[in-house]
Amino acid sequence: MPVCFDIGNVLVKAVHTWQRPVEKLGLTLGHPEHLEESVFTIPTYVPMEAKQVSVADYLQSLVDYLGLSDLETAQKLHEAILEDEFPGVHDIVQELHAKGIETACLSNNNPIHWDWLTKNGPFPAVIALQRKFSSYEIGINKPDPGIFQFVVQDTGWPPAEIVYFDDAPKNVDAALAQGWNAHRIDPSGDVAAQIRAGLSGIL
């Protein structure tokens, strides 16, 4: 019974607005009226994560929308969307592997974050996952059914056997519609405890 995780706000804390990243970096925006807007308000964000818009074009739109000084600042701001890994999630991944259970992630993601998340950053739970699927590599964003079908075809895992965790209700609903055993995570609560509850009988 494989276990698959979303990354943002399931394994790793991710902000929803620009406020915390801007404050963390000590930036002054040319358009401060956008400070508390969702990061997804940038019209190129979601297409960039499906490889429909280049990273350079996305960063330029971020410069223009927020009134930043340059592309380098925009990249640093985008990087700062991600924060720390949730406590206890690495222990869960290790326990799954110790029981011989396969693990994966399925994330709407982008080249700015991907290598840092999966290879180079302080995210041991993500790095330890055995299979890693990102929207920008597949070219499809969740909740499109095609991205869930891609994982099934690539892994050979029966959909009903895949235990899946995501924070976005629309993605949970889409996974359920594909026959996955999907559970919603509330990132404002104890994430590790919620995952363990969804793995009851497995761990």
Is residue 54 domain-shared with residue 128, that is, in the same domain?
no
Mean local confidence (pLDDT), 63-76: 96
Number of compact structural domains in the chain: 2
State the CATH number of the domain containing residue 149: 3.40.50.1000
pLDDT bracket for residue 53 (50, 70, 90) = very high
In angstroms, the CA 66 to CA 42 distance is 9
Is residue 10 domain-shared with residue 34, that is, in the same domain?
no
Give the number of other CB atoms < 10 A from CB of residue 54: 13
Q: Which amino acid is at 7?
A: I
pLDDT digits (tens, 9 = 90+) for 99-142: 999 999 999 999 999 999 999 899 999 999 999 999 999 999 99
In angstroms, the CA 83 to CA 123 distance is 10
Is residue 114 domain-shared with residue 172, that is, in the same domain?
yes
Is residue 98 domain-shared with residue 59, that is, in the same domain?
no
Cβ atoms of 139 and 103 within 8 Å: the answer is no
Cβ atoms of 128 and 97 within 8 Å: the answer is yes
pLDDT bracket for residue 201 (50, 70, 90) = confident
Which domain covers residue 97, as residue numbers? 3-14+83-198
Give the end of a domain, one of 49, 82, 115: 82
pLDDT bracket for residue 12 (50, 70, 90) = very high
Which token pair is 174?
């889409």
Percent of the chain scoring above 90 in pLDDT? 97
Is residue 111 domain-shared with residue 37, that is, in the same domain?
no
82-85 and 103-107 as β-strands: parallel, antiparallel, unpaired? Answer: unpaired
Which token pair is 186?
């509330």
